Amino acid sequence: MIFVTGATGNVGRHVVDLLLAEGAEVRALTRDPAGASLPGGVQVVGDDRLAGIRAVFLNPAAVGDRTAALLASARAQGVSRAVLLSSASVRDDVAVQPDPIGERHKVIEDAVEASGLEWTFLRPGEFASNALFQLAPQIRASGDGIVRGPYGRSHMAPIHERDIAAVAVRALLDDGLTGARPALTGPESLTFTDKIRLIGEAIGRPLRFEELTPEQGRAAMTQAGIPAPVADVLLRYQAEGVDRPAPISPAVREITGRPGLTFAQWAADHAGDFA
């Protein structure tokens, strides 16, 4: 049986569905078991019930400060494998991580590695779903179709959450990814303005980009609830990507046996969120 944390989140829900499609038994952790609306046959729980579990999908955003306790309990109850949703911000070539995003995830990676469990660290770059909080509120509220942000020519390779989940499922069920740290990206490099255009095409509404200064962009991020240090890191990434196509990882294709899903597909899947 597989234990999935953050089972109703952007990635976790796809992990649950894909595991079921493989015939795996799933126990799903969520803050609201009664309202989870997960498929029939899933054991939905609100706490760390790990008896009978073989492998754990670990989402730090869902587990939070309980990570160390969950790992200790997992080892004590015979869990053999942990697949961690980490971050491409983690760097293996430095003693001290250069930003708080990388540092937070590196601490968790170290805890998983020290737990004695088999492990795989998934390291995705930009999630396509970041557009849900970066762009969806603006697009829904914009009567003139104007979408504002800094660094319109900045490149990223956004990854569909379904592709992250597909790699996670292979790591949970197969042995070939034990000890691996696959870097995960989408299949194409896109600018901020490209993403806005593709969302407009998905919702059948022309959208137009208007550039903000970095200071205005930072203010918009912090007003939306992003901590200032994280906003600073994101803006630095965006600045570094101006007019520089993002590197594309082959990992999704190599691990899943199919091409990664495009941002246009992601936008079509989520068109209702922008309407």
Q: What is the DSSP string of 80-128?
A: -EEEEE--TT--SS-SS-SSHHHHHHHHHHHHHHHTTSEEEEEEE-SBT
| Residue 225: per-residue pLDDT | 87
Asked if the model's pLDDT at residue 248 lies above 90, the reply is yes
Asked if the model's pLDDT at residue 275 lies above 90, the reply is no
Mean pLDDT of the chain: 95
Give the three-state DSSP class for 158: coil
The Cα–Cα gap between 154 and 143 comes to: 25
Q: Which residue has the tokens 């609306």?
A: 37
Tally of CB atoms within 10 A around 100? 14
What pTM, to 2 d.p., does this model score?
Answer: 0.95
Q: What is the pLDDT of residues 40-66, one digit of tens each?
A: 999 999 999 999 999 999 999 999 889
pLDDT band for 74, please (50, 70, 90 cuts): very high
Question: 23 — alpha (psi -120 to 50), left (phi > 0) or beta?
Answer: left
Please, what are the domains in the chain?
Answer: 1-124 (3.40.50.720), 126-160+185-246+257-275 (3.40.50.720)
pLDDT band for 269, please (50, 70, 90 cuts): very high
Asked if the model's pLDDT at residue 250 lies above 90, the reply is yes
Q: What is the pLDDT of residues 85-110, one digit of tens each?
A: 999 999 999 989 989 999 999 999 99
**Average of pLDDT values for 217-234?**
91
| Residue 172: per-residue pLDDT | 98
Give the three-state DSSP class for 26: strand
pLDDT band for 125, please (50, 70, 90 cuts): very high
| Residue 34: per-residue pLDDT | 87
